Amino acid sequence: MSSNWIPLWLHKLSSPPTFYRFAGTLQPWAMTLALLLGAIALYGGLVLAPSDYQQGDAYRIIFIHVPSAWMSMFIYGVMGIAAFVALVWRIKLAEVVAMESAPIGAAFTFITLVTGSLWGKPMWGTWWTWDARLTSELVLLFLYLGVIGLYHAFEDRRQGARAAAFLAIIGIINVPIVHFSVNWWNTLHQGSTINLFGQSKMSSAMLWPLLTMMLATKFYYIASLFSRVRTDLLSLEGGKDWVRKIVEKEAGQ
């Protein structure tokens, strides 16, 4: 904590009572934006966008499948970075962010696998196949579950967080494997539709709902993470003065 290259504001923000208040202010806004953008994206994707010339209306699963898949990898990245910070600098907030990201990441990975399966059945004729993309995404789910399990396997929460953080860091190797699996191996899974640099293989009527849903899931993650982190901070700092004040205030209502 004495490293002076950490900016002062970041140092202040990582103090539990400050972050508790900060997250409490932002959380409702993040959730509102998530719901609003999600509703717009759903309208665009399910009503306005035309059906696909090859896949008919089945392709509309893309509007939840692909944003969820992106989140499954993005959240793993955040978890990995937070886990690294937690192990190196022993910052309590980083531990909590890493550990509370895991269940949200697991939720999005589960959604990705199930919606992919429901998409695969009519398009490929099978619910599941052991190809590179599907298998590496399943491994991602097991990594999330492993982190959650390891965290809860220890009597001491902070010791559990450190063990789980270690697993989270090792598992980061799987994220590029998921991402590049469709290029590295011959898979049944289709290649990337969206290209960050250059032309995307999608008409704009389909593209904007997809990108809007991507934003919605990002805001959802912020909202869910903040509400989880707040609860965890109260629990970890149970005996402290700032928590006592909050408990008294909430009980008085």
Partner 1 sequence: MSGVGSFFAMGGYAAYLWPAYAVFFAVLIADTLAPRLRRRRLLRELNARMARKRARDSGGAVSTPRLPEQSP
Binding site for partner 1 (CB under 8 A): 46-47, 51, 56-58, 60-61, 64-65, 68, 103-104, 107, 110-111, 114-115, 118-119, 121-122, 220, 223-224, 227-228, 230-231, 234-235, 238, 243-244, 247-248, 250-251
Distance of CA 198 to the CA centre of its chain: 26
Question: What amino acid occupies position 62?
Answer: I
* Least separation in angstroms between CB 36 and partner 1: 15
* 120 vs 122: CA distance, rounded Å: 6
* Least separation in angstroms between CB 11 and partner 1: 26
Nearer to partner 1, 11 or 149 (CB): 149
Nearest to 79 by CA among 140, 6, 25: 140
Nearer to partner 1, 87 or 229 (CB): 229
Nearer to partner 1, 88 or 114 (CB): 114
* Least separation in angstroms between CB 87 and partner 1: 24
Nearer to partner 1, 162 or 230 (CB): 230
* Least separation in angstroms between CB 103 and partner 1: 7
Nearest to 135 by CA among 98, 188, 203, 99: 188
* Phi, psi values for residue 227, rounded to 5°: -70, -35
If one counts every other C-beta atom within 10 angstroms of the C-beta of residue 235, the result is 11
Nearer to partner 1, 106 or 168 (CB): 106
If one counts every other C-beta atom within 10 angstroms of the C-beta of residue 115, the result is 18
Q: CA distances (Å), 8 to each of 5, 91, 223, 233, in order?
A: 9, 14, 25, 21
* Least separation in angstroms between CB 230 and partner 1: 7
The answer to whether the beta carbons of residues 19 and 93 sit under 8 Å apart is yes
Q: Which two tokens stand for residue 73?
A: 């990898």
* Least separation in angstroms between CB 183 and partner 1: 26
* 66 vs 195: CA distance, rounded Å: 13
Nearer to partner 1, 87 or 105 (CB): 105
